[in-house]
């Protein structure tokens, strides 16, 4: 097995992205004062990674979500989207 295939198989599980879960993450960011466009964009870009992280490592995932929620309190940053 070549090194690249091994790397991909090592970090990919069979967990599939759940649209309802993604919607909940988007709503969580919107509730933290993110604009809908910014929240949807960040979740869409990171959906696969967030799905894997939430399923396999919930504590780091929740820490990342809390950090993203905190960005909602920085309106000048959010207005970039």
Among 21, 18, 40, residue whose Cα is nearest residue 29: 40
Structure tokens at 67: 């950090």
Whether 20 is in a domain gets the answer no
Q: Please give the tally of structural domains in the chain.
A: 1
Per the structure, the complete domain to which residue 81 belongs is given by 25-81
Whether 2 is in a domain gets the answer no
Q: Could you give the percent of the chain with pLDDT greater than 90?
A: 57
What are the pLDDT digits (tens) for 4-32? Answer: 544 444 455 445 667 788 899 999 999 99
SS3 state at 56: helix
Whether 7 is in a domain gets the answer no
- Tell if the pTM clears 0.75, that is, is over it: no
Q: How many CB atoms lie within 10 A of CB 16?
A: 9
How far is 62 from 5, CA to CA, in rounded Å? 29
Query: Higher model confidence: residue 77 or residue 42?
Result: 42
Among 59, 63, 71, residue whose Cα is nearest residue 29: 71
């Amino acid at each position: 097995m070549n090194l690249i295939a091994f790397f991909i198989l090592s970090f990919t599980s069979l967990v599939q992205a759940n649209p309802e879960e993604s919607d909940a993450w988007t709503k969580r960011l919107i509730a933290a004062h993110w604009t809908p466009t910014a929240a949807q964009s960040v979740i869409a870009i990171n959906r696969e990674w967030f799905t894997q992280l939430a399923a396999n490592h919930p504590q780091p995932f929740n820490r990342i979500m809390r950090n993203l929620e905190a960005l909602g309190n920085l309106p000048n940053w959010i207005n970039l989207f």
